[in-house]
């Protein structure tokens, strides 16, 4: 065929480069269908692109070939069954397929995802029915928000779909990674509703209640070392007699122990060695009242706190906080003359007398006019049940020297003597430590405190207190001095 330079329609010609041209021609297949356009499109594909079809089969995943739906219209993914390996990202088995049915999981072995590109999806199935499978990202990658290179765990018999949203970032659904180990699953093996089984999970009973383990220990011993150890949550204790006791278990935060005292006597409850109940001090016992129920709650290691549930708490007085020098007033009506009778309404030689004016009741010493008058008053005081043995004791006298005219106070004093009286009516030496006190000014009220030697004093001890005033007026005929005393007080250290 000759080379032509004129391009007339419906002609075949070859150009100067040797290529053939068909002008105005159409191509038909055996069915007489025009395939000219298809041939034109085929002509636009590169050889590499055409190669993607070469060897591709319907319903078969072939590496580097195009995916072709199978006869049912499904797109088949490439499948592998890798075995889990190693115990770290570096030693785990590398995944190379879209769908991976992994074998050999044992709780430590794992597989490693490929370097992800946005849109990639990898399915991992843990075929082991009992053990967890570890899944790692590629080095520097992350799964969910676990942090770079951290593994995620797929539970026994579960599957997870890992989707890549950006380079090195994979996401997997939470439900696939909720893991229960064999040990954890064993917690429910043998558990029964409404029954306490040691080492098993608690299961609500038919009424929706959690049943607690119950015991009936008998109180024993006389101290922390030989008291009965409590081993259950709910303890119905018998045999308390005011000295016997029980010991709580070693305290761990969150523990709650109920103790019921079934006896008509105090039950001593001790912490375990080194522990403390409330603020009683290390190893000190808590006194639980008769027929009383208490709940002991642990807030931190070795520390218990208790709340009384029923009855009235009978906390031993020795466990209470101490209040120092609490006042006990001695009514004026309880004051006596030296003869033991009550105070007279009128001045009586050598004694105080009672004064009532404008609803104020007080005691008065004798009137002093250019002389020295000594007046005495006394009272008896019994140390109260709440008194702390050998605790501080004081006598407080609110006193005032009243001046009329030009009288001059010349060293007037007030003094206290105190004597402990025995049950047999005997008294010892004066136990007041404070010497007689003077007055810096007249017409001024003072609280004069006198310290009592407290060594050996106990609740119930009787003190006889004698108050002596010595009023001195050194100015002749132009006025008087007189000591007034309001309600005297006894101050004592107490608990309760």
What average pLDDT does the segment 278-285 reach? 93
- Residue 111 bridge partners (DSSP): 93, 135
C-alpha distance from residue 137 to each of 156, 436, 475 (Å): 20, 92, 108
Distance CA 336, CA 339 (A): 7
Residue from 96, 98, 48 nearest 76 by CA: 98
What pLDDT score was predicted for residue 59? 55
Length reported for the chain: 496
Instruction: Evaluate whether 70 touches 61 at the Cβ level (below 8 Å).
Output: no
SS percent in the chain: helix, strand, coil, step 5? 5, 40, 55
**DSSP of 407-431:** --B-S-EEEEEEEEEPTTS-B-S--
Distance CA 181, CA 126 (A): 14
User: In this model, does residue 481 exceed pLDDT 60?
Assistant: yes
What pLDDT score was predicted for residue 34? 61
Q: Copy the structure tokens of residue 162.
A: 């890992």
What pLDDT score was predicted for residue 478? 86
Least confident stretch, 38-42, 296-300, 397-401: 38-42
Q: Which residue has the tokens 């009243």?
A: 402
Instruction: Evaluate whether 116 touches 95 at the Cβ level (below 8 Å).
Output: no
User: In this model, does residue 187 exceed pLDDT 80?
Assistant: no
Distance CA 224, CA 271 (A): 8
User: In this model, does residue 1 exceed pLDDT 50?
Assistant: no
What average pLDDT does the segment 43-47 reach? 59
| Residue 427 banded pLDDT, cuts 50, 70, 90 | very high
Give the angle 23-28-30 at the CA atoms, nearest 5°. 155
What pLDDT score was predicted for residue 64? 61
| Residue 177 banded pLDDT, cuts 50, 70, 90 | low
Q: Copy the structure tokens of residue 471.
A: 């009023």
| Residue 209 banded pLDDT, cuts 50, 70, 90 | confident
Instruction: Evaluate whether 272 touches 255 at the Cβ level (below 8 Å).
Output: no
What percent of the chain lies above the pLDDT cut of 70?
78
What pLDDT score was predicted for residue 153? 92
| Max Cα–Cα distance, the chain, nearest Å | 171
What pLDDT score was predicted for residue 311? 44
What percent of the chain lies above the pLDDT cut of 90?
65
**CB burial of residue 132 (10 Å; 0-12, 13-18, 19+):** buried
User: In this model, does residue 315 exceed pLDDT 50?
Assistant: yes
| Residue 267 banded pLDDT, cuts 50, 70, 90 | very high
More confident residue, 495 or 29: 495
What average pLDDT does the segment 398-427 reach? 97
Q: Which pLDDT tens digit goes with each residue over 112-145? A: 999 988 988 999 999 999 899 999 999 999 999 9
Average pLDDT, whole number, for the chain?
Answer: 86
| Residue 171 banded pLDDT, cuts 50, 70, 90 | very high
b (16+ CB within 10 A) / e for 154-165 = bbbebbbebbbe
- How many beta carbons lie within 10 A of that of residue 301, not counting itself? 11
Sign of CA dihedral 298, 303, 304, 305: negative
User: In this model, does residue 279 exceed pLDDT 50?
Assistant: yes
Q: Which pLDDT tens digit goes with each residue over 316-331? A: 677 678 999 999 999 9
The 3-state DSSP class for residue 283 equals coil
- Residue 99 bridge partners (DSSP): 79, 123
**DSSP of 367-396:** -BSSSEEEEEEEEEEEPPTTBPTT--EEEE
Residues with Cβ within 8 Å of residue 409, at least 6 apart in sequence = 401, 403, 439, 442, 471, 472, 473, 481
Instruction: Evaluate whether 473 touches 408 at the Cβ level (below 8 Å).
Output: yes
Distance CA 265, CA 247 (A): 17
User: In this model, does residue 220 exceed pLDDT 90?
Assistant: yes
- Residue 259 bridge partners (DSSP): 235, 294
The 3-state DSSP class for residue 36 equals helix
What average pLDDT does the segment 206-224 reach? 87
| Residue 206 banded pLDDT, cuts 50, 70, 90 | confident
Distance CA 382, CA 385 (A): 9
User: In this model, does residue 310 exceed pLDDT 50?
Assistant: no
User: In this model, does residue 79 exceed pLDDT 50?
Assistant: yes
User: In this model, does residue 312 exceed pLDDT 50?
Assistant: no
User: In this model, does residue 2 exceed pLDDT 50?
Assistant: no
What average pLDDT does the segment 296-304 reach? 93
Q: Copy the structure tokens of residue 492.
A: 């004592």
- Domains of the chain: residue spans and CATH: 79-182 (2.60.120), 217-319 (2.60.120), 325-495 (2.60.120)
Q: How many helices (H) and strands (E) does the chain have?
A: 3, 33
């Amino acid at each position: 065929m000759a080379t032509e330079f004129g391009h007339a329609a419906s002609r075949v010609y070859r150009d100067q480069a040797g290529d053939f041209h068909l002008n105005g021609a159409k191509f038909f297949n055996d069915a007489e269908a025009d395939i000219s356009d298809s041939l034109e499109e085929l002509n636009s594909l590169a050889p590499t692109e055409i190669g993607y079809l070469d060897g591709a089969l319907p319903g078969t995943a072939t590496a580097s070939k195009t995916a072709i739906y199978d006869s049912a219209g499904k797109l088949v993914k490439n499948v592998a069954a890798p075995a889990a390996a190693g115990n770290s990202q570096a030693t785990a088995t590398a995944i190379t397929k879209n769908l991976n049915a992994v074998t050999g999981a044992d709780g430590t072995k794992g597989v490693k995802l490929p370097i992800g590109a946005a849109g990639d999806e990898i399915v991992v199935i843990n075929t082991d029915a009992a053990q967890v499978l570890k899944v790692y990202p590629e080095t520097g990658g992350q799964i969910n928000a676990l942090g770079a290179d951290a593994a995620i765990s797929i539970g026994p018999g579960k599957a997870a779909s890992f989707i890549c949203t950006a380079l090195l970032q994979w996401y997997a659904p939470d439900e696939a990674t909720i893991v229960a180990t064999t040990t954890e699953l064993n917690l429910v093996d043998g558990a029964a509703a409404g029954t306490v089984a040691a080492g098993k999970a608690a299961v609500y009973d038919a009424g929706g209640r959690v049943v607690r383990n119950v015991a009936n220990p008998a109180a024993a011993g006389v101290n922390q070392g030989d008291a009965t150890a409590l081993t259950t949550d709910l303890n119905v204790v018998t045999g308390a007699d005011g000295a016997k006791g029980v010991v709580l278990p070693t305290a761990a935060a969150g523990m709650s122990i109920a103790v019921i005292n079934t006896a008509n006597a105090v039950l001593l409850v001790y912490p375990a060695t080194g522990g403390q109940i409330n603020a009683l001090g290390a190893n000190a016992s808590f006194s639980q009242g008769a027929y009383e129920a208490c709940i002991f709650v642990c807030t931190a290691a070795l520390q218990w706190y208790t709340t009384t549930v029923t009855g009235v708490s009978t906390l031993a007085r020795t466990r209470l906080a101490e209040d120092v020098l609490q006042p006990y007033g001695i009514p004026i009506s309880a004051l006596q003359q030296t003869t033991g009778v009550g105070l007279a309404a009128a001045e009586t030689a050598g004694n105080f007398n009672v004064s009532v004016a404008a609803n104020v009741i007080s005691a008065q010493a004798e009137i002093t006019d250019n002389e020295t008058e000594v007046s005495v008053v006394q009272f008896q005081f019994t140390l109260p049940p709440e008194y702390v043995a050998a605790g501080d004791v004081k006598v407080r006298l609110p006193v005032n020297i009243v001046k009329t005219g030009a009288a001059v106070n010349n060293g007037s004093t007030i003094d206290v003597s105190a004597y402990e009286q025995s049950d047999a009516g005997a008294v010892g030496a004066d136990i007041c430590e404070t010497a007689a006190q003077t007055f810096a000014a007249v017409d001024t009220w003072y609280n004069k405190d006198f310290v009592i030697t407290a060594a050996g004093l106990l609740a119930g001890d009787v003190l006889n207190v004698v108050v002596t005033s010595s009023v001195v007026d050194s100015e002749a005929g132009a006025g008087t001095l007189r000591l007034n005393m309001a309600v005297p007080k006894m101050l004592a250290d107490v608990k309760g």
